[in-house]
Amino acid sequence: GNSVTQMEGPVTLSEEAFLTINCTYTATGYPSLFWYVQYPGEGLQLLLKATKADDKGSNKGFEATYRKETTSFHLEKGSVQVSDSAVYFCALVIQGAQKLVFGQGTRLTINP
Amino acid sequence: GAVVSQHPSWVICKSGTSVKIECRSLDFQATTMFWYRQFPKQSLMLMATSNEGSKATYEQGVEKDKFLINHASLTLSTLTVTSAHPEDSSFYICSARNDATNEKLFFGSGTQLSVL
């Protein structure tokens, strides 16, 4: 079946630290991969996406590269800020299907 | 930008009562909306796909008679948890697909349901 596994949180970092949140997946077809972010009191927002192998999604200083050989889509940011504190969800959708499959989410807290 | 309003954001109810959760697309039309549920430390799991003017499509293992979905207009879908029990306590979140773009999904802020 299709599934997404994220590194377990919570993750706490200091401002300007380097961030990696691991995400691996299993899929029966050719998935598109996504990172969603949920800030406190708000809905999930699409952060970035990649639709095929070796694609790199990027937004707001965050990056993730679609690695087919390792079935991974790790989220990285070189220098985090307090405003990045949120819950991050990795997700996939099999192309042609409607259903998003989510990881369990990783809560990130950045301390000043 | 496109906004999805979900209401209420949290609710506490007694066992045996019914709870209705609303999901509205505020500035776009959504023929298709989705309802997810998340138990603590677990993934967001799709419960059902809500289609305007027709019956919802439920995922395997989700009781359609317990989780009633109504999508009577292009901007509103409701999820009613009937005869709620403590095991229904969870975080429920909806999303709506923008008919104009078809690709994009917009999410509500979620509803935390606690059944006593």
Give A59-109 pLDDT, tens digit per residue.
Answer: 999 999 999 999 999 999 999 999 999 999 999 988 767 778 999 999 999
CB contact under 8 A, A44 and B32: no
The pLDDT of B44-52, averaged and rounded, is 92
Inform me whether the pLDDT recorded for A9 exceeds 80.
yes
Confidence bin at B103 (pLDDT 50/70/90): low
- Residue A5, classified by CB atoms within 10 Å of its CB into exposed (0-12), middle (13-18) or buried (19+), is middle
Confidence bin at B41 (pLDDT 50/70/90): confident
Contacts of B45 in chain A (CB under 8 A): 102
CA distance B70 to A25: 33
CB contact under 8 A, A102 and B44: yes
Share of chain A above pLDDT 90, in %: 79
Both tokens assigned to B13: 């109810």
Average pLDDT, chain B: 91
**B28 lies within 8 A of chain A by CB:** no
Q: In this structure, are residues A66 and A73 in contact, taking their beta carbons and an 8 Å threshold? A: yes
CA distance B55 to B57: 7
Q: Which residue of B has its CA nearest to A6?
A: B43
pLDDT for A96 equals 67
Q: In this structure, are residues B77 and B34 in contact, taking their beta carbons and an 8 Å threshold? A: no
CA distances from B26 to B4, B23, B29, B30, B107 (A): 6, 9, 8, 10, 12
CB contact under 8 A, B109 and A41: yes
Helix (H, G, I), strand (E, B) or coil at B33: strand
